């Protein structure tokens, strides 16, 4: 009677055992040499997840042996090739810490850099991962100045730098869009103060001048003179750097309006040149006083 009751259980166990694949049986076995060979076969055939699981299963067995760094490196490499960048970054970072003198170390370091790069977000979002990636790439270049990956590293740095530049520029420009022109001028100037080489420098100087003009335009009459003079300074800063800019025509119009508001210009464009020297002298006196 007891045998009859146990028969369904035994049958289920036999069926389950019969359903196991060769991979499952190997993974559950203690034959690490067979696992090692099979892991590379799976890796070479593009079955990275299975290879990673096999490398992980034998990692303790090979700890401290001649195969230790190979197993740990390929474990991280398989994670990377499988698109699991989070796990890959963690495993590669552990590898770099434990096997700094391994022949796989440079490759592992570069792969970790690429994982960190893939973690980065669009410029509108949090840029902490971007800064982390930039630091890692820079450290990699310093440690491996002759690397064959130099061009790719430079391309990544350019892309990440553009994101940071745009983030800073867009955040400052937001004040302009909100019509808080004083805050816009301050924020935009601070962007260039922090990073004079910001790739959006032309746009930043343009919006600085426009914010300066609109701040003067909306000021009480008693404060307009000084503020229009400040705009003129921003105007000269812009045209000094970008005389052929597509923004030039618009800013020239603002400049003439500022002169007109100051009683310095109300005629044709040909008459403007004769007024500029006199106006520039007064502007320089104001700047000297402000210093």
104 and 142 in a single domain? The answer is no
Structural domains in the chain (count):
3
Name the band, by pLDDT with cuts 50, 70 and 90, for residue 4.
very low
Q: Please report the pLDDT score of residue 267 as a whole number.
A: 52
Q: Please report the pLDDT score of residue 11 as a whole number.
A: 41
CA distance 192 to 124: 19
Range of the domain at 136: 121-167
157 and 92 in a single domain? The answer is no
In a domain, 2, yes or no: no
CA distance 57 to 252: 71
115 and 127 in a single domain? The answer is no
133 and 221 in a single domain? The answer is no
36 and 73 in a single domain? The answer is yes
111 and 143 in a single domain? The answer is no
106 and 65 in a single domain? The answer is yes
In a domain, 23, yes or no: no
Three state DSSP letters for the chain: CHHHHHHHHHHHHHHHHHHCCHHHHHHHCCCHHHHHHHHHHHHHCCCHHHHHHHHHHCCCCCCCCCCHHHHHHHHHHHHHHCCCHHHHHHHHHHHHHHCCCCCCHHHHHHHHHHHHHHHCCCCCCCCHHHHHHHHHHHHHHHHCCCCCCHHHHHHHHHHHHHHHHHHHHHHHHHHHHCCCHHHHHHHHHHHHHHCCCCCCHHHHHHHHHHHHHHHHHCCCHHHHHHHHHHHHHHHHHHHHHCCCCCCHHHHHHHHHHHHHHCCCCCCCHHHHHHHHHHHHHHHHHHHHHHC
Least confident range of 92-106, 211-225, 247-261, 263-277: 263-277
Over 80: is that where the pLDDT of 67 sits? Answer: yes
- Residue 270 belongs to domain with CATH number: 1.25.40.10
Q: Please report the pLDDT score of residue 276 as a whole number.
A: 53
Q: Please report the pLDDT score of residue 30 as a whole number.
A: 82
224 and 281 in a single domain? The answer is yes
CA distance 106 to 147: 9
160 and 93 in a single domain? The answer is no
184 and 285 in a single domain? The answer is yes
At 114-137, the pLDDT tens digits run 999 998 988 888 889 999 999 999
Between the CA of residue 209 and those of 33, 48, 67, 90, 204, what are the distances in Å?
Answer: 71, 56, 64, 48, 9
* Percent of the chain surpassing pLDDT 90: 69
In a domain, 12, yes or no: no
Query: CA neighbours within 13 Å on the CB side: how many for 132?
Result: 15
In a domain, 94, yes or no: yes
In a domain, 136, yes or no: yes
At 30-41, the pLDDT tens digits run 888 899 999 999
In a domain, 9, yes or no: no
192 and 276 in a single domain? The answer is yes
146 and 112 in a single domain? The answer is no
In a domain, 15, yes or no: no
In a domain, 11, yes or no: no
Name the band, by pLDDT with cuts 50, 70 and 90, for residue 193.
very high
């Amino acid at each position: 009677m007891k045998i009859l009751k146990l028969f369904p259980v035994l049958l289920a166990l036999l069926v389950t055992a019969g359903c196991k694949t060769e991979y499952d049986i190997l993974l559950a076995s203690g034959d690490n040499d067979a696992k090692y060979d099979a892991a590379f076969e799976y890796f070479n055939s593009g079955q990275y997840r299975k290879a990673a699981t096999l490398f992980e299963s034998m990692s303790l067995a090979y700890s401290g042996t001649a195969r230790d760094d190979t197993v740990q490196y390929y474990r991280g490499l398989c994670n990377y090739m499988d698109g699991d960048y989070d796990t890959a970054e963690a495993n590669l970072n552990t590898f770099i810490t434990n096997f700094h003198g391994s022949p796989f170390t440079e490759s592992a370091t570069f792969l970790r850099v690429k994982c960190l790069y893939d973690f980065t977000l669009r410029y509108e979002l949090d840029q902490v991962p971007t800064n982390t990636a930039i630091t890692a790439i820079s450290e990699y270049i310093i440690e491996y100045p002759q690397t064959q990956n130099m061009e790719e590293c430079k391309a990544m740095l350019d892309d990440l730098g553009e994101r940071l530049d745009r983030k800073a520029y867009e955040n400052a420009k937001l004040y302009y869009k909100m019509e808080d022109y004083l805050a816009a001028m301050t924020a935009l100037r601070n962007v260039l103060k922090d990073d004079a080489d910001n790739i959006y420098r032309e746009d930043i100087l343009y919006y600085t001048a426009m914010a300066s003009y609109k701040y003067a335009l909306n000021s009480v009459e008693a404060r307009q003179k000084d503020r229009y003079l400040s705009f003129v300074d921003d105007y000269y800063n812009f045209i000094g750097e970008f005389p052929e800019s597509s923004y030039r025509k618009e800013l020239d119009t603002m400049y003439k309006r500022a002169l007109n508001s100051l009683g310095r210009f109300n005629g044709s464009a040909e008459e403007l040149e004769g007024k500029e020297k006199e106006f520039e002298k007064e502007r320089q006196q104001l700047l000297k006083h402000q210093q």
